[in-house]
Each structure stands twice: as structure tokens, then as C-alpha cells.
Amino acid sequence: MAFEAAMAIFRLSRSFPPEEKYSLTDQIRRASRSVCTNIAEGWRKRRYRAVFLNKLSDAGQESAEVQTWLAFSLACGYITQAIFDDLNERYEHVYAMLTNMERKVDGFCRGA
């Protein structure tokens, strides 16, 4: 889900103005990809409970950053309210899944 949302942001951000290339465009792409990479890194390190939890926490923080960049994109008129609502909801769902994983950490780390 996080990967699909990051790809949607990539495709969408191609239409952002050139002057945003090194700020909003770069930042929203970086943050959206970081959600995915933190999940992947955490999964591979799940034998270490604390590291796994840390990576899930990092992914959640990056998810919040994406939502903030989406808010900027909306306020600047680069995306519509409907696009904002869709992507924001996706990241809310990703965050809820990460929170659930944190609550059930021992089930993920057992025997890893």
C-alpha cells in the first residue's frame, strides 16, 4: 500500500512547477519512498525487536511528513481537494497499519 501511494505521488509530482524541483517535489518523493524503505529495513531486521520498532516508528513519521507535503501541495494549488483526500486517506491507512504492527510486535519478531 505504501509503495503504491509513493508511486502515485511520483506520477502526480511530475506536474509540479519546475521551481518546486528541489523543494516540494524532491521532499514529497523522498518522504513517500522513505515510508517504504523503513518498512523494508525493519522487516529484514525484525529479529531485533527494538530495531524493528524503531523502523516502524520512522515509517510512521515519514508518513506524517508526506501528509504535510500533501497539505502544502493543496494549499499551493498543485493538487485538487479530491487528490489530497485520496492520498491523505491512504497515508492514514498506512499509519494505522504501522500502529497495529507496533502493538503486535512480538508476533512479528517471534522466531525471526
Expressed in angstroms, the distance from the first to the final Cα of the chain is 23
CATH architecture of 2-105: Up-down Bundle (1.20)
Percent of the chain residues topping a pLDDT of 70: 98
pLDDT digits (tens, 9 = 90+) for 60-85: 999 999 999 999 999 999 999 999 99
Average pLDDT over the chain reads 96
pTM (two decimals): 0.93
In 32-50, which positions are buried (b, 16+ CB within 10 angstroms) versus exposed (e)?
bbbbbbbbebbeebbeeee
